Amino acid sequence: QVQLQQSGPGLVKPSQTLSLTCAISGDSVSSISAAWNWIRQSPSRGLEWLGRTYYRTKWYNDYAVSVKSRIIINPDTSKNQLSLHLKSVTPEDTAVYYCARDPKGWGYMDVWGKGTTVTVSS
């Protein structure tokens, strides 16, 4: 049974970097079929896909245009986890952040983490 355990701070100051981790059990971040996604949800923006990382003989990343200049998603094969780093945050980045697995890289997400509420405030 695949499980995703999220961790990271719930409060980030404006202009700083938001960093979250998603630990994977029951699957591998290096899987040659899966893709690993970050999504956020806020009342104003609804569900918003942020980006993904996946391995297919080499590592690939795709990012949403809205955050492309500020986001990095990194796999950590030694810990079987992925991380999200979002730079220069503003209050508009306040949201619940989820990691999720796409089992075949075909665009649907079958396992989600429980979500991390992140507030951007001084």
Query: For the window 55-94, what string marks contact with another protein as x by the rule CB under 8 A?
Result: -------xxxxx----------------------------
What single string gives the DSSP state of each residue in the chain? Answer: --EEEEE--SEE-TTS-EEEEEEEESS-TT-SS-EEEEEEEETTTEEEEEEEEEESSSEEEEE-TTTTTTEEEEEETTTTEEEEEE-S--GGG-EEEEEEEESSSSS---EE---EEEEE--
Q: Which of 36, 55, 97, 98 binds another protein (CB under 8 A)?
A: 98
Contact segment (CB under 8 A) with another protein among 15-23, 24-32, 71-79, 103-111 equals 103-111
Using CB under 8 A as the binding rule, whether residue 109 contacts another protein is answered as yes
- The residue ranges that bind another protein (CB under 8 A) are 37, 39, 46-49, 52, 62-66, 98, 106-110, 112-115
